[in-house]
Amino acid sequence: MESIAMTRQQLDGDKMIVNMGPSHPTTHGTLRIVLELEGETITKATPEMGYLHRGVEKLGESLSYQQFIPLTDRLNYCSSIMNNVGYTTAVEKLLDIQIPKRAQQIRVLVSELARIADHLVCVGVNAVDIGAFTAFLYLFRQRETIYDLFEMAAGQRLHTSFTRIGGLFRDIPEGFVPLTERFLVECEASLDEMENLLTHNPIWHDRTKGIGAISPEDAVNWGYTGPCLRAAGVPQDLRKAQPYLGYETYDFDIPIGTTGDVFDRYLVRTEEMRQSLRIIRQVLDRLEPGPVMVDDPKIALPSKEKVYTRMESLIHHFKLIMHGMEMPVGEVYSATEAANGELGFYIVSDGGKNPYRIRVRPPCLPIFSSFEDQVKGGLIADAVAVLGAMNVIAGELDR
């Protein structure tokens, strides 16, 4: 194994080694970057990861399909509901089932809320890392509202586990829609305030423009997806390109950048939040009452009321929990547009209760792998800006 530490001989001279992480305020989780500096210029950056590796894929092989849902919360923990949606969509593709319309609409609703929450954190924290503290406070107030909404819907703020295979864990409660409507107005105002602080701020421009620029060809070659790819000028968004959950019926635009630098990524994320607000507004307008779980006793658990009062339902519950669902033999890859990019689940089923192999394709791993390329020759302060704009979430990176 190649050693990262340098020999005494190599250290003689002007070079300096700086360890960024594994515990550093701007590493957003536990990851480590060994920077080799000449003055303030980065000559080499070696990313080290795996500090948050929990073996999610290995664990998945010994858990039933339903039991895997809580593990998906812990992938990108800034927008856990989207991981729930992505995973259950993959299993539903394997089962070849359609979920009820209301369940689809609520999934879109919470996914877009999660996208806003994720982008708020990314933009706000990126600004804090660079030195602009105020915008962060405006944004985090809105994130609190989103987490309040998640708490109402799922009973949990961060680790939501809101979806189930075939629908949702439960319907959204009373009071959810009015609060969301209020949020739509307030979030729009907060975004305006944030933009007033940042978009035309000359210091913000100096710190972000031209930093981490990437060409569209390089971005595709590196495997970029999500806002980072779109900032480079590639209009690839799975919600438009390969629609799922009825995204084709919503009216929204895909913002794209031109240079792919930190400033463009900021602009793309800001506009995506506004577009998400548009989608949420449309969902609220068309939300109709109905079931939120498929009407299929082979997939859906019976209601608790029936389990405790009827023999058949108790047996049915027991069978589903102990023996699992009847899964077809085969393999599927299903991808959804998560906040960071394409979140893919590749599931191989041998017909058993547990998946034979479950693979999570994390969007930020290919993006983070380009880190050295992005910061080489730049200043050490820019490394922080680039890392923040990549929105590397260690839980998703290491799995």
Partner 1 sequence: MIIEHIDAQLPGTITDRHDFRGDQTVVITRENLLAVVDLLHREGFQFLVDITAVDWPEREQRFDVVYHWLNLASQERLRVKVPVADGESVASLAGLFKTANWFEREVFDLFGIRFEGHPDLRRLLTWGDFQGHALRKDFPLDGGDVFCMEGCTAPYNNGERS
Which positions touch partner 1 (CB under 8 A)? 1-2, 49-50, 53, 55, 57-59, 62, 93-94, 96, 218, 220-223, 234, 236, 241-242, 330-333, 335, 342, 344, 346, 348, 356-357, 359, 361, 365-366, 369-370, 373, 398-399
Between 42 and 360, CB nearer to partner 1: 360
CB of residue 231 vs partner 1: minimum separation in angstroms?
A: 16
DSSP 325-391: --PPEEEEEEEEEETTEEEEEEEEEESSSS-SEEEEE-THHHHHHTHHHHHTTSBHHHHHHHHHHHT
CB of residue 373 vs partner 1: minimum separation in angstroms?
A: 8
Q: How many whole angstroms separate alpha carbon 129 and alpha carbon 384?
A: 7
CB of residue 115 vs partner 1: minimum separation in angstroms?
A: 20
CB of residue 1 vs partner 1: minimum separation in angstroms?
A: 4
CB of residue 85 vs partner 1: minimum separation in angstroms?
A: 18
Please state, in angstroms and as integers, the Cα–Cα distance from residue 196 to each residue in 116, 210, 213, 341, following that order: 18, 21, 24, 27
Between 155 and 330, CB nearer to partner 1: 330
CB of residue 62 vs partner 1: minimum separation in angstroms?
A: 6
* Inter-residue contact 111 to 275 (CB < 8 Å): no
Between 50 and 178, CB nearer to partner 1: 50
Q: How far is CA 386 from the centre of its chain?
A: 18
Between 2 and 285, CB nearer to partner 1: 2
Please state, in angstroms and as integers, the Cα–Cα distance from residue 153 to each residue in 106, 115, 158, 365, 371, following that order: 10, 16, 12, 30, 37
Between 50 and 175, CB nearer to partner 1: 50
Q: Tabulate helix, strand, coil % of the chain (nearest 5).
A: 50, 15, 35
**Of 318, 282, 346, 296, the residue nearest 104 (C-alpha):** 282
How crowded is residue 313: how many other Cβ atoms within 10 Å of its Cβ? Answer: 18
Residue 279 makes CB contacts below 8 A (sequence gap 6+) with: 108, 112, 250, 252
CB of residue 226 vs partner 1: minimum separation in angstroms?
A: 13
Q: How many whole angstroms separate alpha carbon 36 and alpha carbon 46?
A: 8
Query: Phi/psi zone of residue 226: left (φ > 0), alpha (ψ -120 to 50 degrees), beta?
Result: left
Between 39 and 55, CB nearer to partner 1: 55
CB of residue 89 vs partner 1: minimum separation in angstroms?
A: 12
Between 220 and 380, CB nearer to partner 1: 220
Q: How many whole angstroms separate alpha carbon 346 and alpha carbon 223?
A: 17
Between 41 and 221, CB nearer to partner 1: 221
Beta strands 341-350 and 357-361 are antiparallel
CB of residue 61 vs partner 1: minimum separation in angstroms?
A: 8
Between 150 and 371, CB nearer to partner 1: 371
**Of 168, 156, 63, the residue nearest 106 (C-alpha):** 168
Q: How far is CA 82 from the centre of its chain?
A: 6
